[in-house]
């Protein structure tokens, strides 16, 4: 399950992203997927087609982990049929 996070970078606006797992304290960088602005639009510095991003801890002020279940696109949709017979 991916975690939805808000990443706060030094001297830049925060942005939304997904993380597959919480980073280990010994890691030098954080792996992020699908970074986007808080309004949902794409970031100007992201190259089209890039899928994963590595941010060094030295550039990150802090990371907020958002509640609310799985990240967008990770929710399982199922089909159902209503019983119209009234029984």
* Predicted local distance difference test score (pLDDT) of residue 1: 74
Q: Is residue 86 part of a domain?
A: no
Q: Given this model, what pLDDT does residue 81 score?
A: 62
Can you give the CATH number for the domain in which 50 is found?
Answer: 2.30.30.100
What's the pLDDT tens digit per position in 47-86? 888 889 999 999 999 999 998 655 555 554 556 666 666 5
Residue that has been written with the tokens 């808000």 in this structure? 6
CA angle 80, 81, 85 (to 5 degrees): 155
pTM score: 0.71
Helix (H) or strand (E) run with residue 37 in it: none
Q: How far apart are CA 31 and CA 15, in angstroms?
A: 14
In a domain, 36, yes or no: yes
Note whether residue 51 is domain-resident.
Answer: yes
In a domain, 11, yes or no: yes
Residue 75 resides in a domain: no
**Domains in the chain: how many in total?**
1
Residue 79 belongs to some domain of the structure:
no
Which residues form the domain of 41? 3-65
| pLDDT over 90, % of the chain | 54
């Amino acid at each position: 399950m991916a975690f939805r996070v808000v990443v706060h970078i030094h001297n830049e606006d925060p942005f939304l992203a997904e993380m597959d797992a919480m980073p280990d304290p010994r890691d030098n960088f954080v792996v992020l997927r699908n970074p986007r602005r808080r309004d949902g639009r794409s970031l100007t510095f992201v190259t089209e087609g890039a899928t994963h991003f590595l941010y060094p801890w030295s550039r990150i002020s802090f990371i907020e982990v958002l509640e609310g279940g799985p990240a967008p696109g990770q929710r399982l949709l199922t089909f159902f049929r209503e019983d119209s017979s009234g029984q």
